[in-house]
Chains A and B, each alone.
Chain A
Amino acid sequence: MTVEPLLLTARGLTKTFGQGEASATVLHGIDLDLRRGELTALLGPSGSGKSTLLTILGTLLRPTSGRHEMLGTDLATASDAERTRFRSRNIGFVFQFHHLLPDLSATENVMMPAAAAAGRETAEMRSRARGLLDAVGLSDRRDYRPAALSGGQRQRVAVARALMNRPALVLADEPTGNLDRQAADQVMALIDRINAETGTCFLISTHDEHISGRCRRRIELLDGQVVAGG
């Protein structure tokens, strides 16, 4: 069995919100490695620190202390602009709520991460966005705005958007949390297929055993600490 190269390393990550007596430490020295092509579930009850860990790994939040590297870049000490550029090129997000822009069509929403980085839309971007929508089974909904799509369809558009910039890592925070079982299965099957076909690493936060059961690796978090699979 081949061992894929390391994609992300976190060592001793802590996160404390607030100061003094009002402070609350949410993460306590998290150690974590992610390798290319992994499909990993991040499990834990509400308040265990899953979302905070994802936002730190996604460079949306800085850790209070600890080391955070990805693809050889020290992200804990990088400037805000560097982190924004890195995030744009290497990390995709899928949230519990789709967070599609209501004034853009499905195709335009998928193109958004690339267009925002480049400052313009190109034919190549449009072509890739359409290909991604085809891949998530929405070729007949390309020009629909989010309001005209079902919950499952919106979340599939969000998955396509996360893949637009060919990220090495997709962080998904409860991606099926707002979907019914059938729609959740469709989205999960889609993630599974993309992971297998493209080798994109997925870290999926969930407390749904059914979803985590489809992942090949499980990391369990409890009270801000990795208790299994780290």
Chain B
Amino acid sequence: MRYAAKIAVRHLLSSPGQSALLTTGVALGVAVFIFMSALIGGLATLLTLRTVGSIPHVVLEMRPRDPAILAGIDGAQIAVQRDLSRREQIAVWQPLIPLIGETPGVIGVSPQIRGNAFVERGQAIAAVSVVGVLPANLSLIADVASAIVAGSPDLPIDGILIGRTLAGDLGLRVGQIVRLRSERDRERSFRIGGVFALGIASADRQTVYMNFTAARALFDLPSGISRIEIKVDPVTDAPRIAAVLRRATGLKTTAWTDENAQLFEALDAQGRTGAIIKLFALVTIVVGIASAMLLSIVRRRGEVGIMRAMGASKRLVIAIFVLEGTLIGAAGAVSGALLAWFTLASFPPIGEVAPGGLPIDRTQGQFLIAVLLTIIAAAFASLLPARQAAGIDPVEAIGQ
């Protein structure tokens, strides 16, 4: 093998221009492979981040009470109609908060009181969705504090935060007093403490944040809560954590993935497209190396013949040309990986991608996989031409 390696290196060094050109071709293929990996991975990360950034990763709610079915009489079934006189609420929630908080993967827990209400100002009325949170948890699910465009994110008991669209629709400003009438027909006045712009149309138009205690009174919930929203890390663990919490609490759990199937379909399609492009890059490398090896063998037909005549085995000839192709593959793969590494370094991290910018995530570049796959592909690409070289008839090759 050492002798085969020596001859292979000599072959490559004897035509430095051709070897450099071939290595450059392989390097560009590898760089494309890595670039596509970083782009597809980065795009998936960006879309996921933007999707899950402002929504809860898992929601825990009371299970809906199914109507009880009594024993059938003469083939008929008797069901008790769903009891709508009682509200769906998590009555005993305080012991659950530390239990959920200590579950591995959970990074934030926010008990909430939710309900619908009307904001009234003069003759203008708007239907809103009220989120009652503990002031400390305001930005746990959506980063409301950072989205404040006027006023402050504080949530005193008589204060509310409204979206920028709602403020525009009703002509509201920070400091003004508005009345909220809940679905329970309770009314209270609140002072607008801040206006936020989350960038989510429905939230900016319809959501109102208020103090947890104020929401209790507005929605007539003296002790229970509507739901518990949690954040997890990594977000892809949400379905698993939801299942764990379902078993632990007996509550109905909904992971963010359950309600974003289309996103996953899109990411999957995008991933497949990327895989096809990467496959083409690899095929290009294989075809390039195989062609170059075939040309090299045609050029060195006489040399192969004389080596065979002097007693070189077919295995040695195969080893020489497979190593030659593999060395080109290895050199090209490493050069391509370095080229990609330094090129991708100029792109900002995913979290800092500007609108319209390319979401390149260098950490998802699959550098090692690209290098290994290329080297393996180069070895396989050389195998067929090498076998052809081993079959050269020495008598014909040396022109006897």
Given contacts A60-B395, A60-B400, A103-B11, contact A113 B310 (CB under 8 A): yes
Given contacts A60-B394, A99-B302, A121-B6, contact A116 B14 (CB under 8 A): no
Interchain nearest-CB distance for B397 vs A (Å): 10
Once the chains bind, are A103 and B10 in contact (CB under 8 Å)? yes
Q: How many residues of B contact A (CB 8 A)?
A: 27
B1 proximity list for chain A (CB < 8 A): 119-120
A165 CA / B312 CA spacing, docked (Å) = 13
Once the chains bind, are B306 and A116 in contact (CB under 8 Å)? no
A69 CA / B3 CA spacing, docked (Å) = 31
Q: Please, which residue of chain A has its CB at the minimum distance from the CB of B10?
A: A103
A220 proximity list for chain B (CB < 8 A): none
Interface residues on A, range: 20 to 34
Once the chains bind, are A116 and B395 in contact (CB under 8 Å)? no
Which of B3, B309, B394 interacts with A121 by CB under 8 Å? B3
Q: Mark B1-18, 1 if CB is under 8 A from A, else 0.
A: 111101100110110000
Main secondary structure of the interface of B (DSSP, over half): helix
Once the chains bind, are B3 and A119 in contact (CB under 8 Å)? yes
Chain B residues within 8 Å of A, Cβ to Cβ:
1-4, 6-7, 10-11, 13-14, 302-303, 306-314, 316, 394-395, 398-400
Chain A residues within 8 Å of B, Cβ to Cβ:
51, 54-55, 58, 60-61, 81, 84-85, 87-89, 93, 95, 97, 99, 101-104, 112-113, 115-121, 161, 165, 173
Once the chains bind, are A87 and B311 in contact (CB under 8 Å)? yes
Q: Please, which residue of chain A has its CB at the minimum distance from the CB of B320?
A: A116
A113 CA / B398 CA spacing, docked (Å) = 16
Given pairs A60-B394, A88-B312, A120-B1, 17 additional interface contacts (CB within 8 A): A60-B395, A81-B313, A85-B311, A87-B309, A88-B311, A89-B311, A93-B309, A95-B400, A99-B398, A101-B307, A103-B10, A103-B11, A104-B10, A112-B310, A116-B313, A119-B1, A120-B3
Once the chains bind, are B3 and A118 in contact (CB under 8 Å)? yes
Which of B307, B313, B400 interacts with A112 by CB under 8 Å? B307
A85 CA / B10 CA spacing, docked (Å) = 25
